[in-house]
Amino acid sequence: MKIIDSKNIERGEIERLLTKKSFDEVELSPKIREVNKKIFGEDLSAIEIVRRIVNDVRRRGDAALIDWTKKIDGVELAGDFTVAETEFDEAKKFVEPEVFAALEHAAENIRRYHAEQLPRSWMTWRGENSLLGQAIIPLERVGVYVPGGTAAYPSSVLMNVIPAKVAGVREIVMCTPNTNPHVLVAAKIAGVDKIFKIGGAQAIAAMAFGTEKIPRVNKIVGPGNIFVTLAKKEVYGHCDIDMLAGPSEILIIADEFADPVYAAADMLSQAEHDPLACSIVITTSAELAEKIAAQVDIQLEKLPRREIAAASIERNGLIVVAKNLNEAVDFANFSAPEHLELLTNNPFELLPKIKNAGAIFLGEYSPEPLGDYLAGPNHVLPTGGTAKFYSVLNVETFLKRTSLISYTRADLLDAADDIIRLAEAEGLKAHAQAIRKRQ
C-alpha cells in the first residue's frame, strides 16, 4: 500500500492517484476473457458481449433468455423462471432466527428513514381561479437486480426494494441468478412481488424490454458486475436506471487523534468486496499513516476473504499525508468518494466543507458498515467520482413529477400577447394560432 506526503509530491500526481477508474474502464481478466472466447467463439470486449445479449433478448424474448442462461451460467431454465411460494418457506428454515430478526430490524429502520423523504404534490392559485401545480406520481413497475457472485447481499434487497414500496410503486419484480435463502427472506420482508431466477445482462434486457414471461419495467435498480452495469447503460432510454456504479470505495479523513485500528478496519471493510475496490486514507499525521498501514497488514491475516482484500489494498490502497485538514477536505472533494468517513476530533466542523460524497459518516462510532446494514439511509451510492453529480438512491428515485396547469379564459387572454410574441419569435406559427383561436 502506498503512503505519500503532499509536501513531497506534485498535486497533479496526488489527484491522479485519487482518480478512480470509471465503470467502463474495468478490464476483463485473462481468465474471464478465455471463458468468453469459449462461449462466443471470439475475443469480444465487455460492451460487445452485452450488446449481443441485449439485442438477442430484445428480439427473441424467453428463447434467448433460456439460451444465454445455459451458455453463460450452465443452468437449464424451466417453467416460468419464478421462485415459488414454497421456496420462500424453505428458505426461511435455513436462516437463523437472529439473522431474520436483524433483517426485520434493518427493514424497519430503512422504512422509517425513507418515509421522511416523501415529497408532496402541490397546487397554488394564479389569479382568482387559475392554478399551477405539481403531481408526485409513483412508477408503476420497478425491476430490482440482485447479483449472485461470491457473496449474497440481502441488505441490498432491502435497500433497493423498501424505498420503492415507500414511494408507492405498484409492482416490484426481482431478477437474481442465485436464490440464496437470505436473499429470498429479505425479498419477502421487503415486499417483492415476483422473483425470476435469471442473472447477468440477459436479466437486465428482459426487464427493460419484457419477454413472454417477464414483464417490462419502468426502471431498473440494483448492483451488478461490469456486464450488468453496461447492460443497464445499453437499455437506458427504453426504461430508466438508478445509476452506473463501479467498484466499492471508501475515503477516510483522519487527524492525529484518530484510532489506527478503526481506520484500518474500515479500509478493509471495503477492500474485502472486490480486488477492484478502493480504500484511501487522508491524514494530517505521518505517524498515524504508518500505524494504519501496519494495522492493515495485521488485520488482513485474520480475514476469511484476505486474498480479495489484499489484492484490493495492493492495487488501490492509498494513504495520503496532507498538510492540514483543509487540504484533506480539498482532496476528498476532488475524489468524490462513495463512502466518506470523518475520523477527526470534531467531524461536524468539517461537514459544511464537504461537497462531494455519496454518504458521510461522522465520528469514530459511525463506521461505514453501520450505513451498509442498519442505520436506515440507503447504501446504494454513487461511485467512481460520480458523487459530483449523482445522488444516493432514495424515495424520489421511484417517483416522477408531472406539471399541472389550469387557466381561466380571462387569465389566458391576459397572457395571450406574450405567448404569441414568443411563439412567432421561434417561428412556430401554429403555436401562436392555438392562442389566437381562443381570443
Does the active-site annotation cover 182? no
Contact 65, 210 (CB under 8 A): no
The dihedral through the CA atoms of 98, 100, 104, 106 has a sign that is positive
Which of 241, 320, 244, 243 lies closest to 278 in space, CA to CA?
320
Task: Determine the Cα–Cα distance for residues 41 and 34; give it in Å rounded to an integer.
Answer: 10
Return the C-alpha cell found at 249. Answer: 470505495
Sheet-wide strand order for 249-254: 2-5, 317-321, 278-283, 249-254, 339-343, 359-362
Does the active-site annotation cover 339? yes
Contact 220, 235 (CB under 8 A): yes
Measured over all CA atoms, what is the biggest interatomic distance in the chain, rounded to whole angstroms? 81
Return the C-alpha cell found at 4. Answer: 505519500
Out of 234, 249, 272, 338, pick the active-site residue: 338
Contact 341, 266 (CB under 8 A): yes
* Helical packing angle, 30-40 and 46-60, nearest 10°: 40
Strand, coil or helix: 147: coil
Contact 311, 277 (CB under 8 A): no
Q: How many of the other CB atoms lie within 10 Å of CB of 249?
A: 29
Task: Determine the Cα–Cα distance for residues 205 and 218; give it in Å rounded to an integer.
Answer: 12
Out of 249, 339, 364, 368, pick the active-site residue: 339
Q: Which residues contact 252 (CB under 8 A, 6 or more apart)?
A: 258, 263, 266, 267, 280, 281, 282, 340, 341, 343
Rg (CA), the chain: 25
Q: Which residues are catalytic?
A: 338-339
